[in-house]
Amino acid sequence: MLRPMRPFPSSNTTVKVEPVASSFQLTIDCLDPHRLTQFWALALGYVVEPLPPGFTDWAAYWRDRGVPDAELEGVEGSDSLVDPAGHGPRIWFQIVPETKAVKNRIHFDLDAGGGPGVPLPERKNRVNVRVTELVGQGATRLRILEHDYPDHYAVVMQDPEGNEFCVH
């Protein structure tokens, strides 16, 4: 059963964000890193990771780091995203030969509605606008969740390669 994110006790609650205990990178297996970096950059407000100074392309950078040429086939542009504010994890889209076969065990929850301090009709409108934007970028709308919990509205979606995520 899908459950919504736990709401804050009140709309007046201040959330203090602390750094995580250890840094990490989120790795997503995929067939087309370019397509997913473009999609998730838009969905998350991240940016495509810029090329390190002194390199003309990513293959040259990875070659300089010792990656064998055989592993660099198909490397075109960046296959990773970074948080422009520097707070969120780096996201790497790793090429794999197989397509997605089963439901994700982990997924993104995108907060487009603004949280429980925003009236439900306005949250629904905000979510629907965001969903329409993501569908225009290749996402698929799977189902609406609005009766499972009082005062809750979310849309379950898939990215262009079939990875599930929610917009609420």
pLDDT tens digit string along 70-79?
888 777 778 9
Q: Does any domain span residue 103?
A: no
State how many domains the chain has. Answer: 2
Nearest to 79 by CA among 99, 59, 64: 59
User: What's the rounded mean pLDDT across residues 43-54?
Assistant: 95
CATH number assigned to the domain comprising residue 156: 3.10.180.10
Averaging pLDDT over each range in 23-27, 71-75, 81-85, which range is the top one?
Answer: 81-85
Least confident residue range of 5-14, 22-31, 32-41, 111-120: 5-14
Other CB atoms within 10 A of residue 148 CB: 12
Q: What angle do CA 128, 131, 137 make, to 5 degrees?
A: 150
Domain that holds residue 162: 108-167
pTM of the model: 0.78
Percent of the chain with pLDDT over 70: 86
- Please, are residues 137 and 80 in contact by the beta-carbon 8 Å criterion? no
CA distance 40 to 80: 10
All residues at 6 or more sequence positions from 27 whose CB lies less than 8 Å from its CB, including other chains: 91, 92, 93, 94
